[in-house]
Amino acid sequence: MTITGQDTDAAQTLQGLEDDSPSVRLRAALAVGTTPDARFVGKLVERCGTEPEFFVRDMLTWALTRHPVSLTLPELLREVRSERAQARSQALHTLSKIGDRRAWPAITRTLLSDPDDEVARSAWRTAVVLVPHGEEPALATVLATQLGRGGRETQLSLSRALVALGEVIEPALLAATTVPDPGTRAHALATRRLLRDPDTGFGFAIEEAKRVVALGGSGQEGQ
């Protein structure tokens, strides 16, 4: 078997993706994206699931978007079922960047309610990108089940995802303002405020909503 210069270059690039130095890994990912090669797809997806540096992961995702969807989509759809949270999260993130709606069936309720906040946040963002026309209300209903979850950043991510769906989220938010949990009610009210006034800061909206809930209000008075 003859080993060509291209084979040697490919082997060196693949090794570079696992180098101890983040800068070397970054350059390797850049090289793969600059000169796409089908032989790299599996390794790129695999590396996304273990790469510790955000900026390198971002370059790995970019490199994947440079390859044909016919090669990347099957690998990513398998990865969203991985046992590793980072692998699921990064695969979802990459699917959102590719934007191919054939991936929509993979965005399951299980992923949208994943116990890992980073996975769930990636799933919410990806769902908004991939949701087929007409299925936005159903998606809003599922997303609304996550209201009140997590810390400020997680709640902001969910509010942004919901607001991106537009007015169709109103029924789901209205229902959430009547549940027993005060955190859920406050998050629903804050999200309604953001829908109506996108320039409102989330911090202000959530604190105002908490005050309304604490005073026994529903946020529906005068509406």
Token pair listed for 151: 């810390």
Q: Please, which pLDDT band fits residue 1 given cuts at 50, 70 and 90?
A: very low
CATH dotted code for 10-130:
1.25.10.10
pLDDT in tens, 16-75: 999 999 999 999 999 999 999 999 999 999 999 999 999 999 999 999 999 999 999 999
Q: What is the pLDDT of residue 217?
A: 60
Report the chain's mean pLDDT, rounded to a whole number: 93
Domain positions in the chain: 10-130, 135-216
- Kindly report the pTM of this predicted structure: 0.90
